């Protein structure tokens, strides 16, 4: 086995645009589930709306990169409102069913050939990041050191993503520690009690759904910024990857989703490298390299089950914050 290649692949996952994008999505999901108690299983839908909102705004309407980013946020907010009006009266399993169905509807609409000139259908969209790359302040060359080596464009996307992630985390921290944050936490614990105090529970839920959705939408835009936007990137499995990152780090925290995203992708990269290598030397019985590569999802699933059973609050979470989970 090539341990050097395994180490490099694993280390690269520590600082990559994909990791940053998933940290953004997990942070948005933390607003929904961790702080409000909304069981949203459609986070992939928010990411898809943000990604395609950015790409379509650039390619079809000629928006500059910053305006396209605002359009992606607006599209995610609109999706949250459209989704929230009929669903925020629901609780628990019913909300989960509606949100996962909504995310799949978005993906199938993007796959449809009806709007192929706009969405690209199964081929997806490319060349929408040219405007963003044109403002790259870094000249052509290699940046970083050791396993963390990037081209100028890769480094620019990563740095921009980290700045957006830091600002988003700061915003959520301020909101959660404000009077608004105390109300949504109260809704998480007992929304009937909050309603009896005269608070408009539906309005607060809608606001939280929009805030978390916009952050997840930004995560979707960052997710496709380095390469291309394709509907298959936003399959249902993406939602459960984000949930894994959230629960791993800690649902009702700010830092937890960020830590969980890093650990999740480092683990994915490590298992994705070492398992095929073990199969090639016959350490996994009769499994082929491709079968061994897919085995990592089974192992990550087992890890998630163990986390929920042994430490449901996550690595940095507080178990007292999860009393709303029945």
Distance CA 319, CA 322 (A): 5
- 3-322: which CATH number, 1.10.150, 1.10.3470, 1.10.10, 1.10.3420? 1.10.3470
110: left (phi over 0), alpha (psi -120 to 50) or beta: alpha
Distance CA 41, CA 126 (A): 28
End-to-end CA distance of the chain: 46
pLDDT of residue 1: 67
| Digit-coded pLDDT (tens) for 134-159 | 999 999 888 888 788 888 999 999 99
Q: Which residues of the chain have pLDDT under 70?
A: 1, 91-92, 320-326
pTM above 0.85, yes or no: yes
Radius of gyration of the CA atoms of the chain, in A: 20
| Digit-coded pLDDT (tens) for 74-105 | 999 999 999 999 888 776 678 888 899 999 99
How wide is the angle at C-alpha 323 spanned by C-alphas 25 and 188, nearest 5°? 55
pLDDT of residue 324: 52
pLDDT of residue 119: 94
Distance CA 318, CA 41 (A): 22
Whether the CB-CB separation of 258 and 165 falls below 8 Å is answered with yes
What is the number of other CB atoms lying within 10 angstroms of the CB of residue 62?
10
How wide is the angle at C-alpha 287 spanned by C-alphas 281 and 291, nearest 5°? 115
The b/e string for 131-151 (b: 16+ C-beta within 10 A; e otherwise) is ebeeeeeeeeeebeeeeeebe
Domain boundaries, the chain: 3-322
Distance CA 205, CA 2 (A): 50
Q: How many CA atoms are closer than 13 Å to the CA of 109, on its beta-carbon side?
A: 11
Whether the CB-CB separation of 164 and 170 falls below 8 Å is answered with no
Closest CA to 279 of 260, 292, 296: 292
Distance CA 236, CA 270 (A): 23
């Amino acid at each position: 086995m090539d341990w050097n290649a395994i180490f490099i692949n694993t280390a690269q996952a520590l600082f990559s645009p994909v990791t940053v994008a998933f940290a953004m999505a997990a942070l948005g999901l933390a607003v929904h589930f961790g702080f409000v108690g909304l069981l949203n299983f459609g986070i992939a839908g928010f990411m898809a709306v943000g990604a395609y909102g950015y790409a379509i705004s650039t390619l079809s309407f000629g928006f500059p990169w910053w305006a396209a980013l605002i359009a992606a946020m607006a599209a995610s907010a609109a999706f949250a409102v459209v989704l929230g009006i009929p669903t925020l009266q629901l609780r628990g399993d019913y909300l989960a069913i509606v949100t996962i169905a909504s995310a799949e509807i978005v993906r199938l609409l993007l796959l449809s050939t009806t709007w192929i000139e706009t969405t690209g259908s199964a081929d997806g969209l490319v060349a929408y990041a040219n405007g963003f790359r044109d403002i790259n302040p870094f000249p052509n060359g290699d940046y970083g050191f050791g396993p963390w080596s990037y081209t100028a464009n890769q480094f620019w996307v990563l740095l921009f993503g980290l700045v957006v992630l830091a600002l988003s985390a700061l915003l959520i921290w301020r909101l959660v520690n404000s009077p608004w944050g105390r109300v949504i936490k109260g809704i998480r614990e007992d929304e009937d009690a909050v309603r009896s105090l005269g608070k408009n529970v539906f309005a607060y839920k809608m606001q939280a759904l929009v805030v978390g959705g916009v952050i997840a939408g930004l995560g979707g835009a960052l997710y496709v910024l380095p390469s291309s936007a394709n509907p298959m990137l936003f399959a249902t499995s993406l939602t459960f990857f984000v949930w894994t990152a959230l629960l791993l780090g800690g649902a009702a925290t700010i830092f937890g989703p960020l830590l969980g995203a890093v650990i999740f992708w480092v683990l994915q990269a490590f298992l994705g490298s070492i398992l095929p290598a073990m199969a090639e030397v016959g350490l996994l019985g009769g499994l082929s390299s491709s079968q061994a590569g897919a085995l990592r999802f089974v192992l990550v699933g087992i890890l998630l089950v163990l986390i929920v059973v042994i430490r449901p609050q996550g690595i940095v979470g507080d178990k007292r914050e999860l009393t709303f989970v029945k």
